[in-house]
Homo-oligomer: A and B are copies of this chain.
Amino acid sequence: MKHEKDPARGVLLTLPAWLEELMSGKNIVFPDPEERMRWVIGLSRRNVEQASGGPFAAGVFAADNGRLLAAGVNRVEPLTLSPAHAEIMAIAFAQKRLRNWDLGHDAASPTELVTSSQPCLMCLGAILWSGVTCLSYGAAAADVSAILGFDEGPLPADWPRELKNRGIKVEGGRLRGEAVAVLELYKKKRGMVYNSRQGF
């Protein structure tokens, strides 16, 4: 139906123009997991420098060869959407590309979510529904809340085990220092901390 394609009647999630241009027509592949993370942290830094959202980025990669399927950055403030975290954006764009709500639908081609900071409660829940089979993150939630004051929510005490029990491997703290430097840059630039008024 026509109106279902009309963006005026829906909520449109968009990436910043600089990120679209960066990826346009390119086959982006990082066989080395550390290089995947370095690229994602670079996106989070650029998102701060370009003032196109919060200091967070994520990417969905083919777990075997490191081919990028989709990237996302935090877009809460520019899109005025609190769910527009980097992980949600990357998952949504990857699912659009694969035309499947399950990024693990092809058991022969598992997918990995690489994110510059540990997922908040919402994104942790989103990962469980997404079908990715590996999560890699840089900065810890404790870095995010200590440096910027974001309320990451009541995370389960042993959340990596909760993911593992559901078939999702977790690798934490990869290039943590580089990820933390971006959080500090955002603080220095007095970036918006978008806890809701009732958040704290």
Question: Which of B14, B82, B195 is in CB contact (< 8 Å) with A10?
Answer: B14
- Min Cβ gap A65→B in Å is 20
Given known A96-B80, A156-B156, contact A7–B9 (CB-CB < 8 A): no
A130 and B196 contact, Cβ closer than 8 Å, known pairs A12-B10, A99-B80, A122-B125 = yes
Q: Is A144 an interface residue (CB 8 A)?
A: no
- Chain B residues with CB below 8 A from A76, complex form: 101, 129
- Asked whether A146 is an interface residue with its Cβ less than 8 Å from the other chain, the reply is no
Say yes or no for A81: interface residue by CB 8 A criterion: yes
Contact indicator B93/A126 (Cβ below 8 Å)? no
Interface assignment of A73: CB less than 8 Å from any CB of chain B:
no
Considering the complex, give the chain B residue whose CB is closest to the CB of A104.
B197
| B156 in contact with A154 (CB, 8 Å) | yes
Cα A36 to Cα B122 with chains together (Å): 25
Please state if B12 and A11 are interface contacts (CB–CB under 8 Å).
yes
Q: Which residues of B contact A196 (CB under 8 A)?
A: 102-104, 128-131
Q: Which residues of B contact A170 (CB under 8 A)?
A: none
Neighbour of A129 across the interface among B10, B104, B159, B194, CB < 8 A: B194
Scan residues 97-129 of chain A and give those whose CB is less than 8 A from a CB of chain B.
Answer: 98-105, 107, 120-126, 128-129
Whether A131 contacts B82 in the complex (CB less than 8 A), given A102-B194, A121-B121, comes out as yes
Interface residues of A in 122-150 (CB under 8 A from B): 122-126, 128-131, 133
Min distance, Cβ A134 to any Cβ of chain B, angstroms: 10
Q: Which of A155-196 contact B (CB under 8 A)?
A: 156, 159, 162, 166-168, 194-196
Closest 6 CB pairs of A and B: A122-B125, A167-B198, A121-B125, A131-B196, A82-B129, A10-B14
